[in-house]
Amino acid sequence: RYLRKMENYFADLLWERQNVDRLHGIVTDLLEEMITRWAEAGADGIIFCEDWGVQNRLLIHPDMWREVFKPLFRRLCSAARSRGMFVIMHSCGYVYDILDDLAEVGIHAMQFDQPALYGLECLSAKLRSCCMALHAPVDIQRVLPTGDRSRIEKEARRMVELFQTGFIAKDYPDLHGIGVAPEWDTWAYEVFVEAASTAA
């Protein structure tokens, strides 16, 4: 994104594959060293901050993702898991087509800020089949910005009911940026806290 700009980088995946592979190797070496140091410092988990999707598909073909990126993620997840670390991966957009692959390489949980993009029932079933958890707020695109208290609370309850013990609630750090009043976000928190208290 910063070294080459996205459109140039995507072209490089086709036309400059050898150079891209060299760059990926350098970056992956660096990330693996960082994982080692975090583990030595006592960290119990890592999160990959990735954005692999747009509204209805991956940014690149799933087969290319599997060929180019899957081995790199396998290596990084192996480095983390071998040191007892929990692995979360963030992605905006629709990445349904590679969820099985992400589970296979060792991702424990997916961090989605737009879980409604998948349909909660569909996403719940898929993550359960992959043995992955969901780390998410109430959907920041379709639900939170409505400011509709009833809808926000209902969606929060649905998330708790559907994902059960495979759910890690979170907030969204830039409410102002998505036009959400802090109060609206609090309505979801209160449902999550109430559900956790009841479960305990």
Please write the tens of the pLDDT for every residue from 105-154. 999 999 999 999 999 999 999 999 999 999 999 999 999 999 999 999 99
Whether residue 152 is found in the same domain as residue 60: no
Rounded CA separation 119/129 (Å):
16
Whether residue 59 is found in the same domain as residue 102: yes
Whether residue 96 is found in the same domain as residue 150: no
Whether residue 7 is found in the same domain as residue 89: yes
- Tell which wins on pLDDT, 101 or 199: 101
- Asked whether residue 118 is domain-assigned, the answer is no
- Asked whether residue 93 is domain-assigned, the answer is yes
Whether residue 149 is found in the same domain as residue 85: no
- Asked whether residue 60 is domain-assigned, the answer is yes
- Asked whether residue 147 is domain-assigned, the answer is yes
Helix (H) or strand (E) holding 48: strand 45-49
* Residues of the domain holding 165: 135-200
- Asked whether residue 123 is domain-assigned, the answer is no
Contact between residue 109 and residue 132 where contact means Cβ atoms under 8 Å apart = yes
Outline where the chain has alpha helix (H): 6-15, 17-40, 62-68, 70-81, 99-105, 120-130, 149-163, 182-199
Whether residue 91 is found in the same domain as residue 173: no
Percent of all residues in the chain with a pLDDT value above 90, rounded to a whole number: 94
- Asked whether residue 189 is domain-assigned, the answer is yes
Whether residue 4 is found in the same domain as residue 71: yes
Is the pLDDT at 199 greater than 80? The verdict is no
- Asked whether residue 120 is domain-assigned, the answer is no
Question: Across residues 1-15, what is the average pLDDT?
Answer: 90
Q: How confident is the model at residue 198 (pLDDT cuts 50, 70, 90)?
A: confident
- Asked whether residue 125 is domain-assigned, the answer is no
Whether residue 105 is found in the same domain as residue 158: no
Q: Identify the pLDDT of residue 56.
A: 95
Looking at residue 157, its amino acid is R
Is the pLDDT at 12 greater than 90? The verdict is yes
Closest by alpha carbon to 133, among 164, 176, 93?
A: 164
Is the pLDDT at 63 greater than 90? The verdict is yes
Over the range 58-84, which residues count as b (16 or more CB within 10 Å of their CB) and which as e?
bbeeeeebeeebbebbebbbebbbeee
Q: How does pLDDT run across 16-36, given as a tens digit for each residue?
A: 999 999 999 999 999 999 999
Q: How confident is the model at residue 200 (pLDDT cuts 50, 70, 90)?
A: low
Whether residue 77 is found in the same domain as residue 163: no
Whether residue 104 is found in the same domain as residue 150: no
Question: Across residues 38-50, what is the average pLDDT?
Answer: 97
Exposure of 76 in the CB half-sphere (CA atoms within 13 A): 27
Whether residue 85 is found in the same domain as residue 28: yes
147: left (phi > 0), else alpha (psi -120 to 50), else beta?
A: left
Please provide the average confidence, as pLDDT, over all residues in the chain: 96
Please state the domain count of the chain: 2
Whether residue 101 is found in the same domain as residue 144: no
